[in-house]
Amino acid sequence: MQTHSRNIWPPFAAVAILAAVGLFLVHGTASGVVLAVTVFAFIAACIYALAGEKVRDGVGGIGGPFSW
């Protein structure tokens, strides 16, 4: 559940455009570099999307809800 109001689709749209550029427009080693940057951009977009969220995993984790 999102606890704050923020548009998260622009970073993911940028990642999709960057992936399309790497797959279809750039060739050779440059394509590999662009796609590697795309992977890191996707991870950054995911972190940005989840930043500030409340974690509600009362039964998750190794120690369960009573873990320190």
pTM of the model: 0.73
Walk along the chain (68 residues) and give the pLDDT tens digit of each residue: 555 567 888 999 999 999 999 999 999 999 999 999 999 999 999 998 888 777 665 555 566 555 55
DSSP string, 3-68: -S----HHHHHHHHHHHHIIIII--THHHHHHHHHHHHHHHHHHHHHHTTPPP--TT-SSSGGG--
